[in-house]
Structure 1
């Protein structure tokens, strides 16, 4: 235990040359009980060690992080805590009691909502995915105190999801890990029940691409899919026609559609806030894509809010949810009769059901098969180069090349589904 005369200069030397391994503690010779813990990353934390009057062993309470608390402020906090201890108090015990009381009052529904409002929405473009994956845990644990959820509860829930949808089980696992870690970091919970738990399902890289007969069967089924809304059917078609991400298609807004009646310059401008790369993306609209958007807008003229392109049936949201496309596509394929034209393709669709993202991959593969250059395919898909030049300097939109690529694909697609 190193006892030192702490000064500002000494502390600067610690953070500029942190320990090679392990956490090192430095105790202030002028303020009994004040300790600075320094990690190999140079991060420091102030703590105070004391012994309560009621006979308990030594206790330690965290005062704050080094980058948030100066030496003088840390010493002042120790003096305040020491007065409380001399009066019979136990600062750390009282803090634990407050946390425990708060965690007992906090239901899982309440915790999930706080996570969405305070963390997911401000920090994640995909927060609606988090909201969707939390529905099963909320249905299972909603009114229960979040602090009472055990590791066995988490395993049972994830295994139940895995039996129906292995990938969804892993995505739910990821969201729950983030949620519980956030709750512990924010002192809403004392511990996470999911720490160290391995994913419950094994995933393989997705390579599903629809064959031309499969495209024809699926397109024709979407034209008259019973039980599927026109908005969901048209959104699925647009993914296949334009190759954009399912979430971007589902969340399309009317304000993003530019010159929709112009056969030469019609385009869809997706803002940076709605793209995975955080970079605005312009999609030229070939005739089939333009007509699908027009058809959706004609429905909004009757029942729309003037903002969304594809409207949700739920009043709590304006646009359809990303997972509505997955559920809709799954229902269409489940109801697909095996007998009929292209029977082999029908069987293939039912035996290996594609996802909405597979429709995007199908376009990408189809463009390659049709001889569209790699740079133009990447431009259509909004895949940018990973180097500094590609990310920050190359701002050329390749609109002409993207339009040519999408027209080439649409002509192939139209010949298939006519």
Structure 2
């Protein structure tokens, strides 16, 4: 598609030439910019009538902007003088006695517009993943494939999707390719439904008849579930050797420690915490639904270790005059990147030859340890804020299970205290 900046670069080459806006419809309508000999730039609309191409001039640039030209094409009937395509104006045909034809249908949205609108939809629905979606699609589609980004969404087929994924696979990308595929599938699924949704405010048309991503298989061998559980030495290292990996006072270490102290709450939720979310006197974290994967508020009881970490973080945030507990180094109004703690753990793993644990293993470790110490799966799932899909939980059960979650956190706090001392209470008969 044309842009205003591109149009400025089109020069006089001594003869007429055309540049298409590439907004063709199934009806054969296309917006054309004709650069005349001498440099004059005219907007023309090309149509197909009786198997022949017909052109009508609708204005000149810059008097008529690109946006106005597009509006003139798909919002109103085409008016203007008709020419043959070689610059010679022909008399307009006499008006028929029948009703005039309807205006051409609205232009269809591009892939980029679809990705941006779906990102806004995620944001409006309070999904914390909307930023992750934006970064993924811009980094893996917009920058390496600007032609696909400008392509109409309805023109995308399985081969286009395959081209994008195959390119990143050739660069050595593995599991992230499956994440990209999942995001693209979700966006096109949105396009299939959104156009006919009576509650949708946007007037963009997509014209998508099937989801092209569905025809491209998921790479199953890159979806192996993790099995690693942290050792006592791994857990102790978070408080002993991990802080020594940073040369200055940064917040990545307390973020990793808080993830462990809260029994593996999601890093993307913790990094969004603000001072009002922390209730030290009540011993609770009140996570808003906007930071949760399930989109629902989540209350987390605090262990002794989490209380100590949060007390320091709240004090430092108030001293900085900001509400963010984990602000970005250069943008205090935003939270830090979630890749920073993962990178820190990776450097620690390489430097200290640990068992090979990663950030995502913290949650698995808590699930496993709490299960071995007698906490039921239902309470473990509620402790981690999982969406409960049974009918009772979805429609009727509004009990917060705060008492049960507090008891589970006491169990985790006891195990963590022992682990930091090198003892495993799972070996004690008291927990048998």
Q: TM-score, normalised by structure 2?
A: 0.61
Q: Contact 2:165 / 2:177 at 8 angstroms: preserved in 1?
A: no
1:250 to 271, 294, 299: 271
Structure 2 unaligned spans of 5+: 1-47, 53-76, 78-94, 196-203, 422-432
- Equivalent position to 1:320, from 326, 336, 341: 336
Instruction: Determine helix, strand or coil for the equivalent of 1:134.
Output: helix
Aligned residues of 2:245 and 2:344 also touching (Cα < 8 A):
no
- State the distance in 1 between where 2:97 and 2:179 align: 46
* 1:173 correspondence with 2:181: yes
Match of 2:205 in 1: 187
| Separation in 1, partners of 2:286, 2:301 | 9
1:362 CA drift (Å): 0.8
Q: What CA deviation, in whole Å up to 9, does each residue of 1:28-57 have, x standing for no partner? A: xxxxxxxxxxxxxxxxxxxxxxxx85248x
Aligned residue pairs: how many?
314
Specify the alignment match of 1:22 in structure 2: none
Task: Work out which of the residue numbers 403, 406, 413 in structure 1 matches 2:406.
Answer: 403
Deviations 1:262-290 (A, max 9, x none): 3xx32111233433334332211122101
1:293 is aligned to 2:295? no
| Cα distance in structure 2, aligned partners of 1:205 and 1:378 | 18
- 1:201 and 1:401, CA in 2 relative to 1: closer, same or farther beyond 3 A? closer
Select the residue among 125, 129, 135 that pairs with 1:126: 129
For residues 150-196 of structure 1, what are the alpha-carbon distances to aligned partners after superposition, in whole Å with 9 as ceiling and x for unaligned?
Answer: 446413333146x24x2211101111233355568643587987462
User: Residues 399 and 337 of structure 1: is their aligned pair in 2 closer, same or farther, counting only changes over 3 Å?
Assistant: same
**Pick from 339, 345, 352: which aligns with 1:337?**
352
Q: What corresponds to 2:4 in structure 1?
A: none
**Larger helix fraction of residues:** 1
2:242 counterpart SS class: helix
Change (3 A) 1:145 1:396: closer
Aligned mates of 1:179, 1:229 — CA distance in 2: 40
Range with bigger deviation, 146-155 or 291-300: 146-155
Question: How far apart in 2 are the matches of 1:394 and 1:53?
Answer: 63
CA drift of 1:331 comes to: 3.7
Who is 1:239 aligned against?
259
1:54 matched to 2:50? The reply is: yes
1:270 aligns with 2:270: no
* 2:415 maps to 1:415: no
1:198 aligns with 2:217: yes
Change (3 A) 1:171 1:87: same
Q: 1:172 & 1:227 partners in 2: Cα distance? A: 35
Alpha-carbon shift at residue 130 of structure 1 (Å):
0.8
Offset, 1:394: 3.2
The correspondence of residues 74-85 of structure 1 with structure 2, limited to 5 A, is none
Aligned equivalents of 2:254, 2:241: Cα separation in 1: 12
In the TM superposition, residue 238 of structure 1 has moved relative to its aligned partner by: 1.5
TM-score by length of 1: 0.63
Task: Indicate the SS of the match to 1:224.
Answer: helix
Give secondary structure in 2 for the equivalent of 1:230: coil
* CA distance 1:180–1:281, shift in 2 (3 Å): closer
Whether contact under 8 Å (1:130, 1:175) holds in the other structure is: yes
Distance 1:88-1:222 versus aligned 2 partners, 3 A rule: same
Secondary structure of 1:214's counterpart equals helix
Measure how far apart 1:113 and its partner are.
3.6
- Give the direction of change, closer, same or farther, for the CA distance of 1:130–1:317 in structure 2 (3 Å limit): farther
